[in-house]
Amino acid sequence: MLQKRKLPLLLKFFAALLSLWLLSFVSLLKSDWTPAFKLHYDWLEYTDDGSPESECNCSSILEGDQEALDQAKLLTLTRAFQKRIKISDEYYINATEDCRLFIKTRKYITFPLSKEEEDFPLAYSMIVHHKVQNFERLLRAIYAPQNFYCVHVDKKAEPSVFAAILAISSCFPNVFLVSQSVDVVYAGWPRVQADLNCMADLYNTSRRWKYFLNLCGQDFPLKTNLEMVRILKTLNGGNSMESENMPPEKKWRVTNAHQIVDGKIQAKGEAKSPSPFNLPIMSGNAYIVASRGYIHSVLHDKRIQALIEWMKDTYSPDEAIWATIQRIPGVPGSTRPNRKYDVSDINALARLVKWQWHEGSQDSLDALYPVCHGNHVRAICVYGAGDLQWLLENHHFFANKFDTDTDPIAIYCLERYLRKKALAELE
């Protein structure tokens, strides 16, 4: 009988203790004090782990400090540094044999950093043909478990490149290789087909993602995932991409038929027929920020299917097709083809590219942007550490081009800036 009497008393005692604990917990949450049990994410911060780039002062570089920039430039020119920064494809193949360890040591973010981001997944197409180290650092910078990533490896890529990227992708449930790869040809239709194949795979993989962004292996973000999500929400279903009237000097690209011969595109010597439905052919670039509705139209709208067939023998169709679709009435997020709706690459969100012929001194009123602090490839600036301060002043989501072989410090400092910012947003 005594045992039965004690039991209700014990239950009341523990209930009282639980109530006191809950009251204390709630008061801690309401206070400004940071409790000891609060989760910390120090383990996700990029630390100076002995990498050769860590000799640089990224804080000073991002502020444009000339002494820090000069030191970084001298470091990149040394033979010892150049030797140390190169990571072989085989390293990634071996390192990803233990995916858990690879993800942990490379500090991938494995949980949504906010409910806002979790409820607004993004879809990425990533077109790659070399430089695995560039690809892996790009993937790490943009990776979030709620997003989706389709990777297209060029059919003519080196076997070690394919094996390394496959190994990296296999470590993540939301990263996958495209179901059908193509042999990409510069300025040819296969460049568009690679994105189309990824669009279809991403569209069929999940109904959850809200926006599509396409990248190449030498892109790098200028915004955190949360920053991109918040900006995309303000578009209210609209798209953001370069789309302007075709300049006269480029019209030959879409008025003359072309073909691919021995891996290169060349003119056939034939004029093309008018565009289907008399659609005005616009000028843009290969990179876009597009709503799910836009991608649905690309895959299913009969007008766009006819446009795709017509575009296949044009020159550099990636610099016309998305811009043209963006101006077709009825496509979700589109605008009318009137020139007042024209959007330049400077005003679009998709990509910040520094073209050599638009560069100039800070005092020049004609210059679109300051001179390149790296080197040029096909008249495009391959960014150096000295470009970072200017890059981060812009509104674009991504910039092109970066190269770990020529200036890894630019990527190194940008990586750290973005990770620190993303973790600070948790607070």
Using CB atoms within 10 A of its CB, is residue 399 exposed (0-12), middle (13-18) or buried (19+)? buried
Place of tokens 């073209």: 355
The tokens of 97 are what? Answer: 């044999």
pLDDT in tens, the chain (427 residues): 444 445 555 555 555 555 544 444 444 444 443 433 335 677 899 887 778 999 999 999 999 999 999 999 999 999 999 999 999 999 999 999 999 999 999 999 999 999 999 999 999 999 999 999 999 999 999 999 999 999 999 999 999 999 999 999 999 999 999 999 999 999 999 999 999 999 999 999 999 999 999 999 999 999 999 999 999 999 999 999 999 999 999 999 999 999 999 999 999 999 999 999 999 999 999 999 999 999 999 999 999 999 999 999 999 999 999 999 999 999 999 999 999 999 999 999 999 999 999 999 878 888 999 999 999 999 999 999 999 999 999 999 999 999 999 899 999 999 999 999 999 998 6
The pLDDT, as a whole number, for residue 362 is 78
What is the pLDDT, as a whole number, of residue 14?
Answer: 52
For residue 112, the model assigns a pLDDT of: 96
pLDDT confidence of residue 346:
97
Give the pLDDT score at 43. 82
* Helix 132-142, helix 408-424: angle, nearest 10: 10
Tell me, what's the pLDDT at 12? 53
DSSP E strand boundaries for 371-420: 375-377, 380-382, 398-400
pLDDT of residue 34: 41
CB 369 within 8 A of CB 390: yes
Residues annotated as part of the active site: 319
Per-residue confidence (pLDDT) for residue 47, from 0 to 100: 81
All residues at 6 or more sequence positions from 258 whose CB lies less than 8 Å from its CB, including other chains: 188, 265, 266, 267, 268, 313, 314, 315
Phi, psi of 213 (to 5 degrees): -135, 135
